[in-house]
Amino acid sequence: MNFLLLNGSLRAGSVNGAALQTLQDVAPSDLQTALYGGLADLPHFNPDDDHDPLPQAVTGLRAAIEAADALLICTPEYAGALPGAFKNLLEWTVGSTVLNGKPAAWINVSTSPTQARDAHDSLRIVLGYVNARIVEEACLHLPVPRGLVDADGRIHDAEVRDSLREVLKKLSRIQ
Ligand SMILES: Cc1cc2nc3c(=O)[nH]c(=O)nc-3n(C[C@H](O)[C@H](O)[C@H](O)COP(=O)(O)O)c2cc1C
């Protein structure tokens, strides 16, 4: 199986990115993971541009999603919603069928008292809109304080790593 990992944050020291990179470290050897790196290259979504020839960044995004057996999303909340850049990525999928029936789960690493709930409620709505298949049993709220991210950009905390491994196991049980 191969999973596409999507980070909603563009920040160099992203906690969400650290969670996804750590997830790659703990992934069992029979499971492929690819960290999507094209978020910053996507143009602003414009329905007028949603036709062939599509911008290269958009064809790359759609191909990466198509090639994946499942998506694993890790995104912060900005101003009570999904980050604009990540919502933009999701909008570029609406005019295609790439997310139709695609298994998807998220790991919410927020340490905020509000648990970034609004962003994740919104993520659920958008994924529903494009008919993605939300794998509820693999979705997890796993608060990760920034201090747990080490200089190598990874999380070495054993409990966090066990929880991340468990998410992968649950997601790989999809039929
Ligand atoms: C512009 C901005 C807006 C934010 N808005 C929220 C918010 O509405 N709710 C929340 O829980 N955290 C909010 N945060 C905090 C981020 O979610 C938090 O810093 C998160 O760790 C960023 O993820 P990253 O480290 O992967 O970039 C905001 C941060 C920024 C920079």
Which residue type sits at 60? G
CATH number assigned to the domain comprising residue 93: 3.40.50.360
Question: Which of 6, 22, 77, 148 for a ligand 1 pocket mutation test, highest count of atoms within 8 Å of Cβ?
Answer: 77
Residue-range definition of the domain harbouring residue 119: 2-172
Query: Both tokens of residue 116?
Result: 């970034």
- pLDDT tens figures, 19-52: 999 999 999 999 999 999 999 999 999 999 999 9
- pLDDT tens figures, 80-132: 999 999 999 999 999 999 999 999 999 999 999 999 999 999 999 999 999 99
Domain count of the fold of the chain? 1
Measuring from atom 11 of ligand 1, which residue has the nearest CA? 116
For residue 110 and ligand 1, the question of a CB distance below 6 A is answered with yes
